[in-house]
Chain A
Amino acid sequence: MFKNEDDFKNLVDRLEIDDKPNTAHRQNLHRQILSVFNETQQSPSPPILSWQTLGRTIMKSKVTKLAAAAVIISAVSLLVWLSTNQDYSNGAKPISYFNLLSEVRAAEQNLFYQDGISHIVNEIVVYQTPEEILPEDEEQTEIQKGIDTAHSFLEYNWLPMCSVQANGQLRFNQLQLSSDETQPYTIVDESWYDPATGKFARVLKVDEQVFFANSYDGQFVYSSQTAPDGSIQLIKEQAADSFTPPQNPAEFLGITAGMPSDISEESGAPIQEIQEGALADGTPVRIVTAGFTDMFGDLKAYWMFKIRRDGNIVAEMEFVIDGNTQFLIRRVAQEIVDAPDISWHLDMLPQEVNEEQEEPKAKVQTDMVIPDVSIQHMVERAGFETYVFTRNPSWTGAVEIIDCIDPASLGQRMFIFASRADDGRHLVLVQSPTYNKMLGNFATSGQLVYTSPNGFKVWGGGPSKWYSQILLSSARSAIKDPPSEDRIGFVLESPAGTFPALAVNGPLSDAELQNLIDSLIPAKEYQQE
C-alpha cells in the first residue's frame, strides 16, 4: 500500500485519471461567465451592512448559527465555570453562589463521606458534530470568514475539568474530545476517595486506555502528562507543607465537577425550563434546562440536568447545540469499597503508546485557566497587542487579570481584566483573538460613540446588553455581583486593529467613559510605579 506521504504521492502520480475537459463545455461556459459579468457591471452597489443584515447573514446558514452559538456558549461556559472554581484552595469552604447546582453538589458531597472508600464511575458519551451544510451561494464576506475561522474550534469538543496540584491548588484543565470520529464514543471517568485520609485517585480512559490520571497517596501528588510520542507519563511531586487533602471532592471528582454552580435567576444566568421526567429505567427526575440565549434571543446551546428525585443527585447531564446532543454525562456506578482497584500512586503508568491506535480520541490540555496573572505575563503570552489602563478609574478597585484558553481560537489565549467597584459599577475588559476576528464587523456597523486622542474608537449600539451580560458573568469570581439591569457594553477598536470588549455593571457618564478610554496604553509599555 503506502507507508507515508511520499509513498502516497508516488501512488497518485502513477494513477491514470481521465480528467481531460470537454471543449464544448469550456466554450459554452466562457460565454456564460462573460454574460453574467456584464450583467453585474450594471448592478447597483451592495447595501450598507446593518445589525439586521448581519443577523440575517448569521442565521442564513446552519454552520454560522452553530458557530455563533458554540463560540459564545463555549466561551461563556469556560468563563462562568472559572468564576465557580477559582476560589478553591486548601480546603476552603466550597464555592457555591446559588441554589440549584449548589444543592446538587452538596448532595453529591455526601456520597464521598460515607464509611469507607467511595468509588464513583461516570461515563461521558461524545457524539459527533453534524457536518455543516454550506449554502448554495455562499458569500465569502469578511463576516463569513471571521465566523468560519472562529468556528474552527469545532474540530474538537471540550469539557472543563480540574486536577489537584502538589501545592493544594486546583489546576484548571480542558478535556479535549475529538469530534472527528464517525461513531459516538465513551470516556470512562473513574475515581476513588478515602475520607479518612484524603487520599484519592482518578483516571480517565477511552478504549480501555488511560489518557489522564491524578492522585494523592498521602505523601505525593501524581499527575499524568502526555509525552511527545503519545505515551502517558507520570509526574510525582511531594505534597507541599501547606497541602491539605481535598475536603470537597465533589468539586473536582463528582459528576458536576467543573460545571457552573451559579445557575439562578439572580445571576442573570440561565435556567430556561424545569420539568418533571424520568430516566430510561423509570427513575423519577427533575429536568433542568440551563443555557445562555444568543444575541437573537434564541436558546441554541444549553445543558439539561436530570436530577434524581430521591437524593437530589445528578443522574445525567446532556449538552445540546442546535438540537444535537454533543455530550451525555451519566453516573453509572457509586459504591463503597474496601480498597481501590488501582494504587493510590498510579503504578499502572507510564503507559506505552498503542501502535494500532489511531489518533487519540481524547486528551487533556492543562492550564486552561490561570488566575491572577501579571501584565508582563499577558504581554508574553498574548500573541497580539493587548492594552491596559494606566490608571484605574477612581470608582474601581485593583484589577485582576485572568489568562485563559480562547476556546474558539485553537492554541491561543484570552485575557480578562476584572475590576470591582464599591458602588457596584464593576468593570470588565476582555481581549482575545476570537473577539479580534469576530467583533470587528459587528462593531463597525454599530454607532461610533467616541474617538480617543490615543487612537481608540468606541463602538456602541447593537446587542450591548447581551454581550455585556456575558462579559460580566464571565468575571464573577472577581466582581462577585451578578450583571445589573443598567449594565452597558462597548466594543473598542484599538490603534493596532484589535477589538477588546468592555462592560460596566452600571451607568457610565460620557466623561467617565472618555477618561477610561483615554487611559488605555499598550500593555508592553506599562511601567509599574
Chain B
Amino acid sequence: MVDAMAKIAEKADNDDLVLQARSDADALGRLYELYYERIFRFCVHRLFFKEVAEDVTSIVFLQVARKISSFRGQTEADFRNWLYAIAANHANSYIRKASRRNQLLEKTAQSISADCKDNSSQPDWTKLYSAILKLKPKYQTIVTLRFFENFSFSQIAKITNARQTTVRVGLHRAIKKLRYHLQRVVDGGR
C-alpha cells in the first residue's frame, strides 16, 4: 500500500518535472539524470559500440535541450515516448548510412571470428547483434524496444508513431527473419 502510494506520488512529481523542464534548467537536469542511463543503454543495444552510443546519446539529449521549451506533452509518459522516438530516429539514421552499417557488420564479424574458440551453439550478444543488424532499421527498433527495453505494444506504437497492429505484425515478421539470420550467423555464414 505504502509502495503504491509512493509510486503515485513519484509519478505526479515526474509529470510536474516535465512541465517545469520547459522553462527551468534544474528540472531539465533532473529529467536528464532520470533518463540518461536508459537512453545510453538503448543506444548500445541499437549500435553495439559504446563510443558510438555515447555520440548518439549526446545528439539525442542536445536535441531535447533545444526543443523542450516547445514540447507539448503533459506527462512523464509523453516525455518518455518523445525521448525514445528521437533516440530511435537518430539510431536509425546512423545505421541507414550504408558505410556505417557495413562498418558495424565488419566489426561484429571480426569480434565473432576472434571468439571462434567458443564453439557454443548458443548465440552471444555479438552474434545476436550481428543478426539484428541484418533487419531493416524499423524492425531493429521494434525488437529493441520490445525485448531490450521491455516496452508494451502500446508504448512502442506511440514511440514509432504506428498502430499497435502494425507493431505486432512487424515484430512477428522480425522474429521470423531474426531466427533465420541468427542461425546463419551461428552456423558461420554471414
Contacts and interface: CB of A to CB of B under 8 A. Distances in A.
Contacts of B25: 34, 37-38
B171 A5 contact: yes
Contacts of A26: 36-37, 40
Which applies to chain B's interface (DSSP): helix, strand, loop or mixed?
helix
B186 A4 contact: no
Contact of A36 (B66, B162, B171): B66
A33 B64 contact: yes
B103 interface: no
Interface in A121-160: 131-134, 136-140, 145, 148-149, 152, 155
Contact of A32 (B33, B62, B165, B175): B62
B164 interface: no
Contacts, number: 127
A410 B64 contact: no
A34 B28 contact: yes
Contacts of A9: 147
A410 B157 CA distance: 15
Contacts of A8: 147, 175, 178
A141 to B, nearest CB: 9
Contact of A12 (B32, B44, B69, B147): B147
Nearest to B134: A182
A29 B161 contact: no
B36 to A, nearest CB: 6
Interface string A20-34: 011001100110111
A258 to B, nearest CB: 26
B175 A410 contact: no
Contact of B124 (A16, A25, A131, A152): A16
Contacts of B155: none
A180 interface: yes
B171 to A, nearest CB: 7
B136 interface: yes
A133 B99 CA distance: 13
A18 B148 contact: no
B124 A134 contact: no
Interface size class of B (residues with CB under 8 A): 35 or more
Nearest to B86: A140
Interface stretch (B11-19, B88-96, B109-117): B88-96
Nearest to B98: A131
B113 to A, nearest CB: 19
Contacts of B92: 134
A9 B150 CA distance: 9
A154 to B, nearest CB: 10
B104 interface: no
A40 interface: yes
23 contacts: A4-B175, A17-B45, A17-B125, A19-B53, A21-B40, A22-B54, A30-B36, A33-B32, A33-B64, A34-B29, A34-B65, A36-B66, A37-B65, A133-B93, A133-B97, A138-B89, A138-B93, A140-B85, A148-B161, A149-B161, A152-B162, A180-B173, A359-B176
Interface of B: 23, 25, 28-29, 32-33, 36-37, 40-41, 44-45, 50, 53-54, 57-58, 61-70, 82, 85-86, 89, 92-93, 96-97, 122-125, 128, 136-137, 146-148, 161-163, 165-166, 171, 173, 175-180, 182-183, 186
Interface of A: 1-2, 4-5, 8-9, 11-12, 15-19, 21-22, 25-26, 29-30, 32-34, 36-38, 40-41, 46, 131-134, 136-140, 145, 148-149, 152, 155, 180, 358-359, 410-411
Q: Which 4 A-B pairs have the closest CB atoms?
A: A33-B65, A19-B44, A36-B65, A37-B65
